[in-house]
Amino acid sequence: MHETTPATHAAQTQGPIVDIEPWGLRETGLDLGRIAVSESLFALSNGHLGLRGNFDEGEPRAQSGTYLSGFFESYPLSYGERGFGFAEDGQSVVNVTDGKLIRLLVEDEPFDVHRGWLEQHDRFLDFRTGVLERNVVWRSQAGRAVRVTTKRLVSFTQRSVAAILYEVEALEQPSRVALQSNLLANQPQDSESADPRKAAALGQVLESELSTGHDLRVVLGHRTRRSGLALAAGMDHVVDRTHCDPKELTQVDDDLGRVTISTLLEPGKPLRMVKFLAYHWSGRQSMDWLRDQVDASLENAIGAGFDGLVKSQRRYLDRYWRVADFQLDGDPELQQAVRFAKFQLLQASARAETRAVGAKGLTGSGYDGHAFWDTESFMLPPLTYAKPDLVRDQLMWRSRTLPLARERAQQLGLRGAAFPWRTIHGEECSGYWPAGLAAFHVNASIAHAVVRYVAATGDDGFARSHGLEILVETARLWESLGHHGPDGTFRIDGVTGPDEYTALVDNNVYTNLMAQLNLDAAADAAERDNDVAHALGVTDDEIARWRVAASTMFVPFDERLGIHPQDQDFLTHERWDFDGTPPEHYPLLLNYPYLQLYRKQVVKQPDLVMALFVRGDAFTAEEKERNFAYYEGVTVRDSSLSACVQAIVAAEVGHVDLAYDYLAEGAFTDLHDLKGDGAEGLHIASLGGVLGAVMFGFGGFRDHGGELRFRPRIPAALTRIQFPIVHCGQRIRVVIEPGKVTYALTALEDGGDEAALRPVTIHHEDEAIELVAGEPVERPLAELHPTFVPTQPAGRAPHRRALRPLS
């Protein structure tokens, strides 16, 4: 007899979810207890269209998800007591019309992993092709066995298109099968939850306006009830009739389109069907227009065919990996995790174009699909030095929302522009003042991203046409938000820094230093492009005021401890009782009132330590060491954005193996579901931070003032680290090995004309080096002797990285 596993008793194991593979994720077997996380891990996206990794048959599922970048529903925010300036409306990503569904009937039994027996069930997401493949052998309760093979992709080259190849083969005996390919709108969402990270439950928000069917094609049109956005979704099918003569039926309803294909299968003669999907939406175009776009996209997809889409996908990803790949030798699982981060960052942004990239990308509905400061602070830095065109797209999105940011600043009684703490469309939709609306540092993060992008690309056209305006309006915000104190220093009061466990404080060091950078950058840009600045109403007097505010910026410092307080009063607070906090009470925000958190020295995620990284030019080496050691003792890492920043600064101050542990924690946040919220989507910003931990942490790469500086390190567990820096259309390859580092200037594409490359000046430690193509430069790694030994709060140290054996 055959070995079988009853589907109703599929294994539920502990430990890692996927096998170790250098270029993909492989899930072997079916673990019903981890479906929710697997749906996030195996999600496909191109930045415009996202499909969660649901099974083709649609059930069992934790959260069915099909998302479109920028497509949202609004809803009124409720307050027990309203206050002037509170955000009026929330925004939430919509689970749009689901085209992933393909159900299978074998004789009179539906293919269902809960019924019958699974003899094989595995999935593989290939980072090189962007294709998710699933292989299943299932035996019905009546004893009929079939093999199901599916391949799914979301196209990078055809922005609105996805495709699924579905093949079913009868094993052992002839069987009649029926495929039901569905296009389904208004699927039920999860209910409300007390976890603030989950999305709002909005119910059925799509109202039908169009439903048409012809041959094997169905197009459905819907409009959101409150935001008024129009959506058209379509499916079409190509059936291989080589081995069968199928019967076909197309049915159309307001919220459902269904194509049924029935045939008798002989063993060894499979039924093969390709399902093509297309999605278009708009806030301005008519439904007829969107329907026509869907039809055109389907025709283009059918013309390319599934194999053609795969080939173009492979070409796109080949170019990406040739330029952008990170290599870490000595830890195969970490190598896989870093490539996963690279792949997911691309999936989140590749075709987002001028729409926001949310904190979860398009992998789930967590945080309602909102974009935060995460985009500019964690996602864009690694993209700037790998795919700078995607960074330009995101900054263009910010530029296009400037009118809304100006309106928001006026509402708050401020000048300039106040970009939202969380949004989809551009309006502020955070309903919580202390930890959200007061986090003005998002504005400086956007300005910093502009400065970094222009320095890394030399894109003067963007700098003049869009960048300068962003810098000017954010500088105006800081000037109006701050004030000069009696001692002449410029002070910024009543704000929340990156640490959301400390709110509404005066002179947060990170905020003040980032505002200082913003003010100086705006002054520099206005003087450089004086004509554009004058057209924006900038005067010489205004530039002078920015210079004075920046030069007199108040940065608190505690002489007794020799460290910087996170804000001017932070060190006067009582320390949190870490020893008395049970492990199950983390994260603290789910177990303690903010009133208690705000009154204590306890840090959710790096704040002052974040400043040590992004404004490292404002601290001495000794200050960095002392600050890092102190804040390690009060940081609990209740945020997924924590470990990557701690890794970066730990590496800089000499705690290289600690940095390795933090890198591993960040890298496995999603792959091991360390935060327990993987069902809501991937932590895209954390994945960006993982890449930052490699290049900024172990690479020691800094770009202060447009200079390229490196202070490389390597942990004992790794034998080699290699990563590229794309700068002004050229590539610097950095290779770190025990005891040495090698820098090489190369063409952007392998085999490119290196004779045309311009020399580049970099700094290794404090030595200036001119890199010339074809002449790699080798230097020794600096010897590190850190003075201070950091310790973490009880139970909050990162797990020591133990290598997992290969499967």
Say if CB 421 and CB 440 are below 8 A apart. no
Confidence at residue 203, expressed as pLDDT on a 0 to 100 scale: 80
Type and span of the H or E element at 50: strand 49-51
Active-site choice (27, 39, 376, 500): 500
Q: Residues 5-71+90-316: name the CATH superfamily.
A: Glycoside hydrolase, family 65, N-terminal domain (2.70.98.40)
Residue ranges in the chain whose pLDDT is less than 70: 1-15, 189-201, 804-807
Q: What's the rounded Cα separation, in Å, for the pair 624 and 529?
A: 36
- Quote the mean pLDDT of the chain: 94
Confidence at residue 202, expressed as pLDDT on a 0 to 100 scale: 78
Say if CB 396 and CB 463 are below 8 A apart. no
Question: How many whole angstroms from its chain centre is CA 787?
Answer: 36
Confidence at residue 13, expressed as pLDDT on a 0 to 100 scale: 40
For 712-765, write each residue's pLDDT tens digit. Answer: 999 999 999 999 999 999 999 999 999 999 999 999 887 778 889 999 999 999
Q: 405-435: string of b/e by CB count within 10 Å (b at 16+)? A: bbebbeebebbbbbbbbbbbbbbbbbbbbbb
State the distance between the two ends of the chain, measured CA to CA, in whole angstroms: 27
Say if CB 444 and CB 515 are below 8 A apart. yes
Q: What is the pTM of this model?
A: 0.95
Q: Please say if 109 is a catalytic residue.
A: no
The tokens for 452 are 């970094």
- H/E/C letters for each residue in 177-220? EEEEEEEECCCCCCCCCCCCCCCCCCCCCEEEEEEEEECCEEEE
Confidence at residue 751, expressed as pLDDT on a 0 to 100 scale: 73
Q: Helix, strand, or coil here: 277?
A: strand
Cβ-Cβ contacts under 8 Å for 303 (sequence gap 6 or more): none
Q: What's the rounded Cα separation, in Å, for the pair 721 and 708?
A: 18
- Point out which residues pair with 225 in neighbouring strands: none
Give me the half-sphere count of Cα atoms (radius 13 Å) on the Cβ side of residue 353.
Answer: 10
Confidence at residue 195, expressed as pLDDT on a 0 to 100 scale: 52
Q: What's the rounded Cα separation, in Å, for the pair 672 and 197?
A: 18
Q: Helix, strand, or coil here: 444?
A: helix
Type and span of the H or E element at 443: helix 441-457
Cα 11 to Cα 35, 57, 425, 479, distances in angstroms:
12, 20, 43, 60
Tell the residue number behind the tokens 């992998």, with chain if given. Answer: 363
Q: What's the rounded Cα separation, in Å, for the pair 139 and 148?
A: 11
Cβ-Cβ contacts under 8 Å for 541 (sequence gap 6 or more): none
Range list of β-strands (E), 586-667: 600-601
Q: Whose CA is closest to 490, among 413, 442, 545, 412?
A: 545
Task: Name the burial class of residue 94, with classes exposed (0-12), middle (13-18) and buried (19+) by CB atoms within 10 angstroms of its CB.
Answer: buried
For 215-245, write each residue's pLDDT tens digit. Answer: 999 999 999 999 999 999 999 999 999 888 8
In the chain, where are the structural domains located?
Answer: 5-71+90-316
